[in-house]
């Protein structure tokens, strides 16, 4: 089948890291999808904004430190990375707290991007 | 009494429910995603500050570090695993899952 355009896929990341496996699984899935060269958008809302917080050190809880891997998302073709501004602010965070450059957007912008997708994959 | 909370207050009602139930001089220990409650500047800072007048609030340091939480609300005591063990040994525990 010849397709006239790339499939638009959104990764919706809503969970804090470490307490559950969602954040880690989400990152793995994003990087796997990267191999297929479709059109990707990663959105971090609610506690998902904590996934991108810099200065993490998981050695004390004996878990795999995976957060630095977010830095390769761009190399894997995930170039649109949105952070919900409200979620960021209510956690006392600013864009400087994140380990990668992000676009801070509001819920309306997220809704608009969401409506353009073929698939939304939640984590 | 030692109350432990392991869920983010943004995600679940565990922390709010714990605060509503705890009695004066009880200890509250935040672990795992529960440590999100004591991030300085967060929406929950006023609730934490208010609670500090009534209870002793602790947060597990290794869980804070893992999440990159470098600033906690003033007055919150950061403890290590040994501190967790001694709190648990000294009190009846109520985990808010």
Confidence (pLDDT) at B87: 97
The answer, for B43 touching chain A at a CB cutoff of 8 Å, is: yes
Nearest to B6 by CA among B25, B28, B33: B33
ipTM over 0.95: no
Confidence (pLDDT) at A65: 85
Nearest to A123 by CA among A67, A46, A54, A65: A46
Binary contact (A19, B61; C-beta < 8 A): no
Nearest to B66 by CA among A36, A23, A5, A123: A23
pTM: 0.91
Domain boundaries, chain A: 8-122
Binary contact (A18, B63; C-beta < 8 A): yes
CATH of B2-96, one of 3.40.30.10, 2.60.40.10, 2.40.40.20, 3.40.1260.10: 3.40.1260.10
| Cβ atoms of residues A123 and A44 within 8 Å | no
The pLDDT tens digits of the residues spanning A48-91 come to: 999 999 999 999 999 988 989 999 999 999 999 999 999 999 99
The answer, for A54 touching chain B at a CB cutoff of 8 Å, is: yes
Q: Can you point out the beta strands (E) in chain A?
A: 8-13, 39-44, 80-84, 103-105, 119-122
Binary contact (A56, B67; C-beta < 8 A): yes
Fold of A8-122: Hypothetical Protein Ychn; Chain: A, (3.40.1260)
Domain boundaries, chain B: 2-96
| Cβ atoms of residues B61 and B35 within 8 Å | no
CB burial of residue A75 (10 Å; 0-12, 13-18, 19+): exposed
Nearest to A34 by CA among A3, A68, A6, A4: A6
The pLDDT tens digits of the residues spanning B50-69 come to: 999 999 999 999 999 999 99
């Amino acid at each position: 089948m010849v397709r006239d355009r790339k499939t638009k896929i959104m990764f919706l990341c809503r969970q804090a890291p470490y307490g559950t496996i969602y954040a880690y699984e989400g990152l793995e899935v994003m990087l796997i999808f990267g191999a297929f060269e479709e059109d990707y958008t990663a959105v971090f809302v609610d506690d998902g904004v904590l996934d991108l917080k810099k200065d993490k050190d998981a050695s004390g809880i004996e878990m795999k430190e995976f957060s630095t891997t977010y830095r390769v998302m761009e190399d894997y073709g995930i170039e649109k990375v949105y952070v919900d501004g409200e979620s960021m602010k209510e956690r006392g965070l600013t864009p400087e707290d994140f380990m990668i450059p992000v676009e801070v957007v509001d819920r309306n912008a997220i809704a608009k991007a969401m409506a353009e997708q073929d698939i939304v994959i939640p984590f | 009494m030692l109350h432990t909370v392991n869920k983010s207050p943004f995600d679940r009602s565990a922390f709010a429910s714990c605060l509503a139930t705890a009695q004066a001089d009880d200890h509250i220990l935040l672990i795992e995603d529960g440590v999100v409650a004591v991030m300085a500047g967060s929406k929950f800072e006023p609730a934490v500050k208010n609670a500090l007048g009534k209870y002793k609030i602790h947060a597990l340091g290794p869980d804070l570090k893992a999440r990159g939480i470098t600033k906690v609300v003033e007055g919150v005591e950061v403890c290590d695993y040994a501190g967790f063990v001694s709190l648990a040994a000294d009190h009846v525990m109520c985990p808010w899952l």
